[in-house]
Amino acid sequence: MVQQVPDDIFKGARGWINSRPLRPRDLRGKVILLDFWTYCCINCHHVLPDLARLEQKYRNQLVVIGIHSPKFDAERSTENIRQKVDEYRIKHPVVNDADRIIWNRFDVSAWPTLVLIAPNGQIIGRVSGEGHYEVLDRAIGQLVERARAAGTLDETPLVFPAESDKPRESGLYAPGKILADAKNDRLFIADTGHNRIVVTNRKGDLIATIGSGETGANDGDYAKASFNRPQGMCLFEGKLYVADTENHMIRAVDLESKTVATVAGTGTQAPPRSPGGPARQTPLNSPWDVLPLPGTRRLAIAMAGPHQIWTLDLDAGTVGPWAGNGVENIQDGSLSDAEFAQPSGLATDGKHLFVADSETSSVRSITLSGKAPYVDTIVGQGLFAFGDIDGQGPQVRLQHCLGLAYGDGKLYIADTYNNKIKVCDPKARTVRTLVGDGRAGQSDDPPRFYQPGGLSLAGEVLYVADTNNDAIRTIDLKTRRVATLPLAGVKPPEPPSRRPTFPNAEVAEVPATKVAPGKSLTLDVTLNLPAGFKLNPDAPIRYLLEAPSQPEALSEVVSPRGGRVDPPASTFQVSVPFAKEMSEGQDVQLKLSVSAFICKVGNEGYCTIKNYVWNVPISFVSGGASSIKLANATAGASLKK
């Protein structure tokens, strides 16, 4: 492994996400943390919150760069990675290392691997796996203090325009799972990216929204409750149970009282090989799906994090491992000897529990009858045996299958990374493609999907959570006709009403200005950027208009969340609508705050935030101006009548 970072360290990258290409010299003086990851990997998911904490704590000293080095063929695509960077809310730059050139350059052998680089470009060390926050925090803190004492630390704030910060119009956001309730004409949609459950009828008309849409773990009524990237769901005894994946919880929705309660998990991630215990005092680890075990009051949980199947006993109030020894692999045998690899989907025929074992691209079966339950593999060969081959038994190849549904002797498979829906005869161990040609897309004819994650069957209709298309699709099993379900009344959640902040702003006190009476005014803004910098074309300008001492003076159409200039421009106008006709002799103190993402010319990967504030006292006088020109680093304001 190299000990000093050369400037061509990212040579071989197929693309960049959340940033333009960077070079180590652009970041000299910063601590750099390279995260070698791949988006299928649950351990890589678990590292992301730790990285976010480090980025927040050392926001002016640390730059994290994700090196996406793929396992599966589908993970080589920059667009596919972009989808997941957006969905997983990753804010730092990510490199597509499609051919694992950077991976090999650093002699990496496991996902995730984290490589720490000092401000002077020296490689300090590495750790592999998850759970290393304290080690990294201590090492980064030491590097920061040493470089600061030596005068070599660059504490200029850097910003990167994240994919997840872009506005979204779709009602759904990366729906991971779906549950059809034919008896009551309902669909329950895990609107995973929006942190909520959407309930519609089977025509797609909105019935209810469960959860506020904010990331959280609040119990309470539908409006107050919150989730964190929920996935699988099941109905049992009138309640909807939800695998609240990134909260590491199982939640129960009382559909009568319209309330949400936590029934298992503490909100923290369980360590490997946890023994289980009282449901509300026992941590869970990325539950991905949940399903009632036939003839019992127990729920099976696809616990993706520890590569096990757990059960929640509703009578005893306990939760714990049931099948799998915690080793990530494919091995059949008794419940205690069997091995799984990131189980992500469940289905049953009443006699077997079927498992979509995603990292081995396999479908597993657990017998539920007889004295000794047994784990068997229907199709699938191993952690690195994947592809797109229909056939029988060992011939079959899938690619990271995430969802299952059972009906009439057939097992339907969401062959996620192959963009297909397949059908399996579990007795004959045969698999054939039902719909989809393998190409990512959203067309109904020819039928195309984009990494579908969930399935549910109601009569002759198979419902598909078409994750990357932000859509629900239907398949008529008699005709194999595919349709996109229109979702009437389903809108994205309202963003939280938080006032934006503008730290370290360049403040201009504008002399008192006379303006014409009326109900509106225009501010003509010119941003004089620092020499050698330009606006980042991918990052909208944010602004906030206020009248701090007289908030009632502004119209209610002025948003407390501020506005945007998109695409960004160095000159733009801000309309000032007043709540009523302003008369001669009245005075108002306006405040305009502006935030711009600016990048170095010729080195567009190096970006920072520049904030500006203008305090503008105005008096309404006949014959006054209809607009005010504002420019930073300019004395006063010029008027235009």
Does position 639 have pLDDT exceeding 60, yes or no? no
Could you read off the pLDDT of 586-636 as tens digits, one per residue? 999 999 999 998 988 887 677 888 999 999 999 999 999 999 999 986 433
Both 213 and 303 in one domain: the answer is: yes
537 φ, ψ to 5°? -70, -15
Q: Please give the full DSSP string across 363-391, using - where no structure is assigned.
A: EEEEE-SSSS-EEEEEE--BTTB---B-E
Instruction: Give the position of tokens 């809310």.
Output: 89
Co-location of 152 and 182 in the same domain: no
CB–CB of 279/317 below 8 Å? yes
Of the chain, the percentage scoring pLDDT greater than 90 comes to 87
Write the CB contacts of 420 (distance below 8 Å, at least 6 apart in sequence): 388, 433, 434, 435, 436, 437, 438, 449
Q: Are 219 and 261 in contact (CB under 8 A)?
A: yes
What element of type H or E holds 185?
none
DSSP assignment of 90-107 equals --S-EEE-TT-HHHHHTT
Q: Which helix (H) or strand (E) holds 600?
A: strand 587-600
Which pLDDT tens digit goes with each residue over 545-589?
Answer: 999 999 999 998 898 889 999 999 999 999 999 999 999 999 999
Order the strands of the 518-526 sheet from edge to edge: 571-582, 518-526, 627-631, 638-640
pLDDT at 296: 97
- Residues 160 and 185 reside in one and the same domain: no
Match 């991976």 to its residue by tokens.
103
Q: What CATH number does residue 314 fall under?
A: 2.120.10.30
What is the per-residue pLDDT for 632?
87
User: Tens digit of pLDDT for each residue in 390-420?
Assistant: 999 999 999 999 999 999 999 999 999 999 9
Residue 582 belongs to some domain of the structure: yes
Domain boundary among 110, 137, 165: 165
- What DSSP state is assigned to residue 488? B
Closest CA to 473 of 442, 446, 440, 437: 442
Q: Report the chain's mean pLDDT, rounded to a whole number.
A: 95
Q: Are residues 316 and 458 in the same domain?
A: yes
Pick the last residue of a domain from 110, 134, 165.
165
Residue 543 pairs with which residues in a beta bridge? 563, 594
Which pair of tokens denotes residue 42? 């649950």
**CATH number for the domain including 103?**
3.40.30.10
**Encoded amino acid at 212, one letter:** S
The whole-angstrom separation of Cα 637 and Cα 526 is 11
Is residue 496 domain-resident? no
Question: Computed over its alpha carbons, how large is the radius of gyration of the chain?
Answer: 27
Task: Count Cα neighbours of 592 within 13 Å in the Cβ-side half-sphere.
Answer: 28
Q: Within this chain, do residues 303 and 429 fall inside the same structural domain, yes or no? A: yes
Is the pLDDT at 536 greater than 90? The verdict is no
Q: CA–CA separation, 464 vs 486, rounded Å?
A: 13
What DSSP state is assigned to residue 247? Answer: G
Distance CA 111, CA 42 (A): 10
Whether 463 and 533 map to the same domain: the answer is no
Q: Last residue of a domain, which of 135, 165, 195?
A: 165
- Residue 638 pLDDT level (bands cut at 50, 70, 90): very low
Q: What is the pLDDT of residue 637?
A: 40
Tabulate helix, strand, coil % of the chain (nearest 5): 15, 45, 45
372 shares a domain with 446 = yes
Rounded to an integer, what distance in angstroms lies between the CA atom of residue 341 and that of residue 305? 9
Region 331-338: what's the mean pLDDT?
97
What sections of 21-173 are H helices per DSSP? 42-57, 78-87, 101-105, 133-150
Amino acid identity of 425? D
Q: Which residues contact 453 (CB under 8 A, 6 or more apart)?
A: 175, 176, 177, 231, 402, 403, 414, 416, 465, 467
Q: Which two tokens stand for residue 24?
A: 């180590």
- Whether 131 and 231 map to the same domain: the answer is no
Asked whether the bond before 567 is cis by omega within 30 degrees of 0, the reply is yes
Q: Is the pLDDT score of 497 beyond 90?
A: no
Q: 458 pairs with which residues across the strands? A: 461
Amino acid at 240: L
501 in a domain, yes or no? no
Cβ contact 578:592 at 8 Å = no
> Residue 388: inside a domain, yes or no?
yes
CB of 433 within 8 A of CB of 419?
no
- pLDDT above 80: residue 387: yes
Dig out the tokens for 20 from the structure.
């333009």
Does the structure show a pLDDT above 90 at 500? no
Task: Determine phi and psi for 44, rounding to 5 degrees.
Answer: -65, -35
Q: Residue 550: name the closest of 466, 468, 624, 620 by CA.
A: 620
Strand partners, 576: 521
In the chain, the number of structural domains is 3
Which is nearest to 465 in space by CA: 178, 194, 193, 232? 178
Same domain (yes/no): 112, 182: no
Query: What are the CA-CA distances from residue 175 to residues 22, 254, 378, 455 (Å)?
Result: 33, 22, 27, 11
Note whether 95 and 220 are same-domain residues.
no
pLDDT at 641: 33
Using CA atoms, how far apart are residues 3 and 374, in angstroms rounded to an integer? 50
Residue 84: inside a domain: yes
Q: Is the pLDDT at 112 greater than 90, yes or no?
A: yes
- The 10s digit of each residue's pLDDT in 228-249 is 999 999 999 999 999 999 999 9
Q: Considering the domain boundaries, does residue 500 fall inside one?
A: no
Cα–Cα distance, 203 to 184 (Å, whole number): 13
- Indicate if 283 and 351 belong to the same structural domain: yes
pLDDT tens per residue, range 502-517:
988 999 999 999 999 9
E strands along 230-326, which residues?
A: 230-236, 239-244, 249-254, 259-264, 277-278, 287-292, 298-303, 308-313, 318-323
Q: Are 612 and 555 in contact (CB under 8 A)?
A: no
The answer to whether position 499 is within a domain reads: no
Q: Is residue 235 part of a domain?
A: yes
Q: Please identify which residue in the block is written with the tokens 């081995």.
A: 360
- Looking at the structure, tell me whether residues 36 and 82 fall in a common domain: yes
Q: What residues make up the domain containing 28?
A: 16-165
Dihedral sign for Cα atoms in the order 491, 94, 597, 500: positive
**Residue 112: partners with Cβ closer than 8 Å, 6 or more residues away:** 35, 36, 37, 41, 43, 44, 47, 128, 129, 130
List the structure tokens of 9: 């360290």
